Structure 1
C-alpha cells in the first residue's frame, strides 16, 4: 500500500464519482479505478459499492476514509517538521558562554528566537576551558568566548566586538566629568574579575598601555558582581559597553576617549558539527556589529 492509494481513495470517497475524482487528480478514469481495486484487494474487503448510477462507501470504507485522512495529515505534518528541521527552524541548541559576553550575546539570541521560535535553547555559563571540554564531549553545540581559540577541530570566528566604558559609583568625582582618559584612573581602586580570565588580562593591558599599573582592590568572579560592589562605593572598574543595558542603581558609565581597543566575542564550535540549527544561528549572527 502506498500513499498515492490513500490519496486516490480519499478523492473518490469525497466525490463519490470516479470521473470527477479522476479530473481532480489530473488522470484518466480507468487507471484510477484500477488503483482503487488494487487497494481493496490488498485490504481484502470492498471500500466502495459501485454500479452504473452510484458510488457509495461501505461501512468499512467510511471507517477507512477517516483513518486515511489522519494518516495523510500525519505524513504531511512529518514532512513539514522534517523540512523545518532541515532548515534549522526546529530542534534544540545548547550554548556555553562566558559571563562577560552576557549582554553582547542577548541581542543575538533574541533575534534568532524571533526568526526561529520553535527552537529550544539551553544556556550554560562556563569558563572558556570548560566550554572547550564540553565541545569536545559534544555536550554543547556552541561556545561563546572572548578570545580566539587555536585548537584542532575547533572553528573560532569573531561575531561582534564592543568598546569599553569605565564605571563609577554615583557621587564619585570622576562621575561628574564627561570626557575621561585611562590615565585619569591611575589612582583609583580597581575591582576586576579573578586573575587568568581574558577580561582581567584585557583590563590590565589597557592600564599598562596608559602608563600605569592598576591598584586592584578586589577580584570577583563575575562582572555583574563587580558592578554591585562598585555601586556601593568600593572601587571603580572597566566593563564591556554592552553592560550599560544593565541599569544598576548607583552606577555611572563614562566613555574613555583614548581607548580604541575593542573586546571581541567569538563563536567556537566543532568543525565536524552538522547541526542545521547551529548553522542557522551562526548565519543570522554574523553581522560583525561593533556594540556601543
Structure 2
C-alpha cells in the first residue's frame, strides 16, 4: 500500500499544537485563525489513520502515538529549515564528497598533512581515500568510480581528457642491499649498478616512469636484467633487502626505513659512443589528476586547496 505524503505545513501545525497544547495559542504562533488549524490536525489524523491528540473542553494532550512522533517531527523540520543553507554550501564545495585515489609514495610525505588540514578546513566534505596504482586509477576515473587521483609518473606525462596539477617532483635514487659494494659510496657510479639484477614495478603500473628507467640503461648500452617485478614500493624495497637485486625508487621512499637496505643518490652517467655528454638520470613527479570539466564543487574546493599547498611549498 502506497503511503500518502504529508507536506511540511501539516507537520509545522502538528508541532505548534504539540508544544502549545492549545489550539488557540498554536494558531497565534502560526499567524492563523484557530478553525484552519483544528481542521488541519483533523485532516492529518485522517491521513495517518491515527489519533494524535486527546481533546476535551478543558485540555489538549498528546496521545502515545503523538508523543512518539514529536521528536521525529522536530528533527524533520529542523533539517528542512537547514536545507537552503546546505544547498548553498554544497554549491560552494563546502559540503559533499571527494573520492580520492593515491599512490603509496605520496603517503610518505604530503598526503597525511593534506588530509588533516582539509578536514579542518572543510569538515562537511567527506574525503574518501583508496590506495591504487596509476593504471587502476585511470580505469576508475574512466568509470566514474573516483573523483581524482594522485598519480606517479615521469615528467611530461599528460593523460588525455584529464586535468593535471603537479604536486611533487623528485629524483629517483638507488635502493641497495646494505652489503652491496656500491652501498659504501656516498654517490655510487650508475655504471657500477647497471649490470645488477633489477627489481622494478610492471610497466602497466607507471608506463612513463618504467620507460624512463629503461631509457637510462639503453643510453648506457645496457639491457636491464629483471630479477623481479612488484607493485608496491614497500614490496620492492623488501625484495632488495632479500637480495633479489637493486631498485630505482622515488626519493620520498627514503622515509620507508628497512634494516639491511640503504638509499643512495647516483652519480652522473657518461653517454657511451660519440661525444662526452652525460645522461640525465630519471626523475619522477606526482600529480593530482581529475576529469577535465568536472562539475563536483567539493572536488573543485579540494583542487584549490592542493594548489595553494603546492604553490606555498615551492
Compute the displacement of 1:19 (Å). 7.6
| TM-score, normalised via structure 2 length | 0.65
Cα RMSD, aligned residues only? 4.2
Compute the displacement of 1:122 (Å). 4.0
Please name the residue that 2:192 is paired with. Answer: 187
* SS of 2:310 mapped into structure 1: coil
Among residues 56, 72, 75, which one is paired with 1:73 in the alignment?
75
Compute the displacement of 1:156 (Å). 2.5
1: CA distance between counterparts of 2:139 and 2:127?
24
- Tell me, yes or no, if structure 1 residue 57 matches structure 2 residue 78: no
Contact 1:186–1:214, Cα closer than 8 Å, also in 2: no
Compute the displacement of 1:239 (Å). 1.0
Compute the displacement of 1:233 (Å). 3.5
Contact 1:93–1:277, Cα closer than 8 Å, also in 2: no
**CA 1:16–1:140: 2 relative to 1, 3 Å:** closer
State how 1:111-126 maps to structure 2 within 5 Å. 111-112=114-115, 115=119, 118-126=126-134
Among residues 215, 227, 252, which one is paired with 1:242 in the alignment?
252
Moved over 6 A (4+): 78-82, 257-261
1: CA distance between counterparts of 2:176 and 2:246?
5
**CA 1:46–1:215: 2 relative to 1, 3 Å:** closer
Please name the residue that 1:168 is paired with. Answer: 176
| TM-score, normalised via structure 1 length | 0.69
Structure 2 residues without counterparts, runs of 5 or longer: 1-5, 269-279
Compute the displacement of 1:265 (Å). 1.3
Contact 2:174–2:246, Cα closer than 8 Å, also in 1: yes
- Tell me, yes or no, if structure 1 residue 273 matches structure 2 residue 263: no
**CA 1:265–1:229: 2 relative to 1, 3 Å:** same
Please name the residue that 1:285 is paired with. Answer: 306
Please name the residue that 1:6 is paired with. Answer: 11
* SS of 2:257 mapped into structure 1: coil
- Tell me, yes or no, if structure 1 residue 102 matches structure 2 residue 104: yes
Q: After the TM superposition, which of the residue ranges 253-262 and 135-144 deviates more from structure 2? A: 253-262
1: CA distance between counterparts of 2:226 and 2:281?
26
Structure 1 residues without counterparts, runs of 5 or longer: none
